[in-house]
A and B are shown apart, each in its own frame.
Chain A
Amino acid sequence: MYRYNEVDARIVGERVAQFRDQTRRFLAGELSEEEFRPLRLMNGLYIQRHAPMLRVAIPYGHFSSHQMRKLAHIARTYDKGYAHFTTRQNVQFNWPALENVPDILAELADVEMHAIQTSGNCVRNTTTDAFAGVAADELLDPRPWCEIIRQWSTLHPEFAYLPRKFKIAVSGSLEDRAATWVHDIGLQVVRNADGEVGFRVLVGGGLGRTPVIGEQVREFLPGEHLLTYLDAVLRVYNRFGRRDNKYKARIKILVKAMTVEGFAAKVEDEWQHLKDGAATLRAQDIAHFASFFTAPAYEVLPPHPVELTAAMDAQPAFVRWLERNTRAHRQPGYRAVVLSLKKTGVPPGDITAEQMDAVAGMAERFGFGEIRAAHEQNLILPDVREQDLFALWTLAREWGFATPNIGLLTDMICCPGGDFCGLANAKSIPVAEAIQRRFDDLDYLHDLGEIDCNLSGCINACGHHHIGHIGILGVDKNGEEWYQITLGGSQGNLASLGKVIGPSFAQADIPEVFEKILGVYIARRQAGERFIETVRRIGLVPFKESVYAQHH
């Protein structure tokens, strides 16, 4: 893991002091609400429906048991004893008091954490594959690059007041688990024909009101030029992105207006002036960042230890969990384990302070004290010995983390929606729960197989509904909460945006609609065909016919 040096710590400390003074001036009436708003947003502080909400950065989803304990402490001391993991690998506290926020930030700084740029019109937390560093299909470790980007983007003087928010994702594996096609900038770490490490650069993807799949602006950017190139992209966006209409202010709109060729040429032109400048990364710089992400002290272990095979023979439920909630590891004898935060009846991503402490303990006992936050709102223990899996499963069950539903229908991505969010058109958590209750039969759930179901409470798309195989979007119809359903979206290498199937539904009808959609899938699927593959093959019409069939 990256560890702060003296300067990192000093800068974060100075940001806490700066924000403390900004908060003081706001409370004293020296800063108007309008003036304070962008400042607090750039420190992750929203004023929500019930209370402020503070979003804390987990840079590229990486954190330690020590940091988790601090988050638990904050949840207990300043909040109502729980927190919420978001779809951007961050964590949110829903009930802090404004005047306490500087103290919370100071506590976070003690464990090398902050809330810098977790909201606002600036470069946000860089995200990546939650299995980075351990995934069996990893080509190149994206994490050193993520840290390089974190540093470059943190308090960048030129790019603090962009036209709109700006999100960067980095992927280094065969399967893109970082959704690089739907970010303002997506970077795929690749090697060129000469074996040099660099990036395929995608620009202009994004969800929200106008969902767009990104476009390639550079097939191969040599690694050492990453920062000067990012400066060039951001400068073009900062200067020419629209500022007159916030719905047209994202970089995707600029790319469309200029055409991707026009945009790429403009960036290239700008970059010619910046290329080889002082921010060019030398081999020793890249090596320095990589040195924080070396493999931990793995033991040499035989695969399939008897502790594992004996438990598999004895416990079918354990086998099911093993299949669904663990992933192949680069190191023989180890697996990465997903702790599900999608237990029926618990809002997706929510976790209590006691559970957070328990996760910290598990990370230490079954690993090297490291934890990952996944954008699917689950937690990951990256380095679990196969011989410990049964013991971990037993403990995870006690704590409610062992629902064997990772990647299945009930592992929903779901934004906080109308229960918490001031922007919502509709509630999302009760809808997620209704679906989880309807599909609580594990055999049926497993038979349905992998289905990404994503749910957003409004067009801002924090629940990434466009890239759900099944997407649900809360809409407002004459002051009532309705839900629009999309089919056929997907993240990853074959990223696509879902299409609306027809008129929206009342909340109570959603489980029934799901029954019908999945009924069509069951009836029409070919052997071994996953839900999304069936949708791609047969199209939307059969689903529409079933869902909107007239009752006689």
Chain B
Amino acid sequence: MRNIIKNGQVTADEWLLLREESHLWPAQDVIVPLEVWLSARLAHSHRSAPWLAPDADIATLLPHLADLPLIAIDFPAFTDGRGYSLARLLRERYGYAGELRAIGDVLQDQLYYLHQTGFDSFAVREDRDATQALAALQDFSDGYQVTWRRAEPLFKRVF
């Protein structure tokens, strides 16, 4: 079991991430590719959740949002910023309220922005120390824009 950051703390992860498009799921909570999840979720004995590639078409997921305990968004490279937009869409446009997890090339220096756009759990890359990364959630005490975490832009709050 690996450590992740969740709700501002380092905790042991309950979920197993399956990268491959396999239908053979171990008997535990699993995060699987979106397509596989859509077709095989009902046969699983434990909880299951989809992970999205950055170019995922989220339309197929929308009917399930209310029931999902977790959605993961993959960052193939930390420089690939598509996941930030996906997160805001899921949170702000479609009202997804469950756990939203960043997986893949997730590093300390992106944590603050990820959190702002709606992620609340972070599978920090395994060769990095999640505890050290945790502090990055406090990198900035305020910001200019409207985000999932800030309902009003700065210009409506400062004077």
Residues of A within 8 A of B (CB): 5-7, 10-11, 14-15, 18, 22, 35, 38-39, 121, 148, 151-152, 154-162, 227, 235, 238-239, 243, 273, 277-279, 281-282, 285, 288-289
Contact = CB atoms under 8 A, between A and B. Distances in A.
A278 B152 contact: yes
Contacts, number: 101
Contact of A152 (B84, B139, B144, B151): B144
A238 B141 contact: no
A239 B58 CA distance: 12
A11 to B, nearest CB: 6
A14 B140 contact: yes
Contacts of B151: 278
**Most chain B Cβ neighbours within 10 Å, of A157, A273, A288:** A157
B159 A160 contact: no
Given A157-B147, A238-B85, A278-B151, A243 B80 contact: yes
Contact of B140 (A148, A155, A239): A155
Contacts of A279: 145-146, 153
The 7 A-B pairs at the shortest CB distance, nearest first, are namely: A161-B81, A157-B116, A157-B113, A151-B144, A158-B84, A278-B146, A279-B146
Interface string B127-159: 000000000000111111111000111111011
Given A14-B141, A39-B109, 20 more contacts: A10-B142, A11-B140, A22-B109, A35-B78, A35-B109, A148-B155, A151-B144, A155-B140, A155-B143, A157-B143, A158-B85, A158-B117, A158-B145, A160-B110, A227-B153, A235-B88, A243-B82, A273-B93, A278-B152, A278-B153
B79 A161 contact: yes
A26 to B, nearest CB: 11
Contacts of A235: 85, 88
A238 B87 CA distance: 13
A78 B137 CA distance: 32
Given A22-B109, A39-B109, A151-B155, A239 B82 contact: yes
B25 interface: no
B142 A5 contact: no
A238 B153 contact: no
B132 to A, nearest CB: 9
A243 to B, nearest CB: 6
Contacts of B15: none
B159 A288 contact: yes
B81 A5 contact: no
Interface in B1-60: 55
B79 A157 contact: no
A161 B78 contact: yes
B85 A157 contact: no
A182 to B, nearest CB: 24
Given A14-B139, A18-B139, A22-B109, A157 B145 contact: yes
B82 A238 contact: yes
Contacts of A35: 78, 107, 109
Contact of B144 (A15, A155, A277, A288): A155
Nearest to B93: A273
A289 B144 CA distance: 14
17 contacts: A10-B142, A11-B144, A14-B140, A22-B109, A121-B79, A148-B155, A151-B154, A156-B145, A157-B112, A158-B84, A158-B88, A160-B81, A160-B110, A161-B84, A243-B82, A277-B146, A278-B156
A238 B113 CA distance: 15
Contacts of B79: 38, 121, 161
B147 A158 contact: yes
Nearest to B149: A157
B140 A159 contact: no
B144 A285 contact: no
B81 A7 contact: no
A283 to B, nearest CB: 13
A285 B139 contact: no
A489 B146 CA distance: 40
Nearest to B145: A156
Given A5-B158, A39-B109, A155-B140, A161 B153 contact: no
Nearest to A17: B139
Contacts of B88: 158, 235
A331 B139 CA distance: 46
A486 B114 CA distance: 45
Contacts of A277: 146
A285 B78 CA distance: 35
Contacts of A160: 81, 84, 110, 113
Nearest to A241: B82
Contact of A157 (B55, B84, B158): B84
A279 B144 CA distance: 10
A38 B109 CA distance: 11
